[in-house]
Amino acid sequence: MKIINFFCGFLGIASYFIHAVLAQDFASHGHYTEPNTGITFYTSYETNGTITGDGEFSTVSWGGYLWGVAFPDTALTVDSYEYIGIIIGSLPNGTGWAGVVHGTNQGCTMYNHLQLVAWPTGVGNQIATSFRYATGYTLGTLYGGSAQLQTMYSYVNATNWVLVYRCINCLIYDDPTQTPANTSTTEGTYEQGWSQSYSPPYNVLDAGSAFNQHNNGMGVFQVIVSSATIANYASYTTLTQTGGLTVSTTASATTYSSTPVPTATSYDYVVVGAGAAGIPVAMRLNAAGHSVLLIEKGVASSYRWGGSMCYSSRRIYKLTLS
């Protein structure tokens, strides 16, 4: 399968287009049958284009972006809290992540809703996925609710990547820290959000990695449930693919191990405590040309905020005490 020119050719293969008028909708819509699984999705997508400013409510994304959904054919009469989804993200400079925010019938915001983020790990066609949850406009923590993700198909090439997945309990919001709620498919429409970045997560091999704010567009769009139902939904739910890298909840968060301190006969300075004072002191001593041993008690640094050079650059050595 080739997806290099996917976004150039999408207009030719979409069966029809719809412009929703309810609430906010900053996307184009259509249908796309993914050729490897045979699943037809109702899609919301942004074409390839140049992002201006912070890309808020953009209708374009560098390299393009697509999210699609398929529901059981009973979704208009019985609320379906699961769906089969597809994300086609872009890698315009060889890296990046993409995400979708599960909204409600009333609207969609980044905070207080279930977020799904995904990115290629660089290992074959492997895609890392994790559910996140934020109470404000901050980096989301790992979601603690009942949502589950099953990878059904994934593919990566030089410019784009594809993830087909089954999302179970993804329209039920039951993280212990949030007020329980759900999205009703029987109401006919609901709102979703999207975001994308061309900067990689701090550790692409860690599905729970931190990452910087989106820089390749974000927005919201309407899901028309009647356009997203498929008659043979159950037959597709048996499709699974091994080799995915997933963190679904806080219970399965990645752990970290310590890095041994390099052997040295002596240090110019020993700083005890890698906190708000210890780290600046160690860095200033290091900048003055001294070798420094920085000691702290606790788990090893995960570097989740990008500070991996703090303890390894020049001659600062870190010792973690258990």
The percent of residues above 90 in pLDDT, for the chain, comes to 47
Instruction: Decide which of 260 and 312 is more confident.
Output: 260
Whether 97 contacts 208, CB under 8 Å = no
Question: Domains in the chain and their CATH numbers?
Answer: 6-252 (2.60.40.1210), 269-321 (no CATH)
User: Can you list the alpha helix ranges (DSSP code H) found in the chain?
Assistant: 6-13, 233-236, 278-287
- The answer, yes or no, to whether residue 303 has pLDDT greater than 60, is no
pTM for this one?
Answer: 0.71
Q: Provide mean pLDDT across the span 232-244.
A: 84
| pLDDT at site 213 | 85
Q: What is the pLDDT of residues 99-154, one digit of tens each?
A: 999 988 876 666 667 999 999 999 999 999 999 987 766 677 888 999 999 999 99
Q: Provide mean pLDDT across the span 35-42.
A: 96
Burial class (CB in 10 A: 0-12, 13-18, 19+), 236: middle
| Distance (Å) of CA 83 to CA 6, 32, 74, 112 | 23, 16, 12, 20
Q: What is the pLDDT of residues 202-217, one digit of tens each?
A: 999 999 998 888 899 9
| pLDDT at site 232 | 92
Instruction: Decide which of 264 and 43 is more confident.
Output: 43
